[in-house]
Amino acid sequence: MPLHFSRLAAAALGLLLVTPCLAEQPLAAASSPEERPDIDLYALMSGTCRTLKVDGREFPCKTVAFFHSEKGRAHFSVALDDPADESHIIAFSGVNGRRSIQNVYELPIDRMLLNSKHRPKVDGIPVPAAQGSSGVCRQVGNFAMLKVTSVTCSAKDESGRTYELQFVSDGTPITLRRVRQTMTNAEHNPYQ
């Protein structure tokens, strides 16, 4: 199904600029006024989710995005087209992502971030549940060239639930935004 970048999907993924870093902290610490999101880069991709499964249940998707934090954590986030829950978002999250070969970025997954209309909110923004997981995401393409060909992710959480994504670009250049300049280790730099 083609991804339609709707205002709702843009707003939902925009919330992830804030919430992934909040999911890594205790709830009390996340509501501190001094806390600021540590996302330094995000990329929105246009294309088709050939497969999007959450625990065996198939969903169409609204949009796919990549988020990178100053601390090295990265997320491939997917807004699900779920008629029962317009806030249904999953994110494959991990650290130490690296470019294994030219134009292939691999991110080992150590947690899934799960968001829904039932999640508690901090300042009106839902805070995703973090589920310990194992898996991997592979992105073919190059952010610096504004081209991503495909993203495949597969993970299993501690409860045994499985998550699968097969995304294929429609050839439209990605929308890449640097939120702020940071010093990154060249080995883990997703935009080279």
Going residue by residue through the chain, which has 192 residues, state the pLDDT in tens, using 9 for 90 and above.
444 444 344 444 554 444 444 444 433 333 343 455 678 899 999 999 999 999 999 999 999 999 999 888 999 999 999 888 888 999 999 999 998 888 999 999 999 999 988 899 888 878 899 999 999 999 999 988 999 999 999 999 999 999 999 999 999 999 999 876 545 544 455 544
Q: What is the pLDDT of residue 15?
A: 46
Q: What is the pLDDT of residue 26?
A: 38
Q: Looking at the domain assignment, is residue 75 inside a domain?
A: yes
**Residues spanned by the domain of 145:** 7-180
Q: What is the pLDDT of residue 181?
A: 58
* 8 residue type, one letter: L
Assign 60 to helix, strand or coil. coil
Angle at 111 between CA 106 and CA 115, to 5 degrees: 115
Domains identified in the chain, total number: 1
Residue keyed to tokens 């009390």: 28
CA pair distance 117, 89, nearest whole angstrom: 10
Query: Among candidates 39, 32, 47, 48, which has minimal Cα distance to 15?
Result: 39
Q: Looking at the domain assignment, is residue 1 inside a domain?
A: no
Q: Looking at the domain assignment, is residue 192 inside a domain?
A: no
Q: What is the pLDDT of residue 107?
A: 97
Q: What is the pLDDT of residue 40?
A: 86
CA pair distance 52, 42, nearest whole angstrom: 21
Q: Looking at the domain assignment, is residue 186 inside a domain?
A: no
Q: Looking at the domain assignment, is residue 185 inside a domain?
A: no
Q: Looking at the domain assignment, is residue 17 inside a domain?
A: yes
Q: Which two tokens stand for residue 66?
A: 């990549």
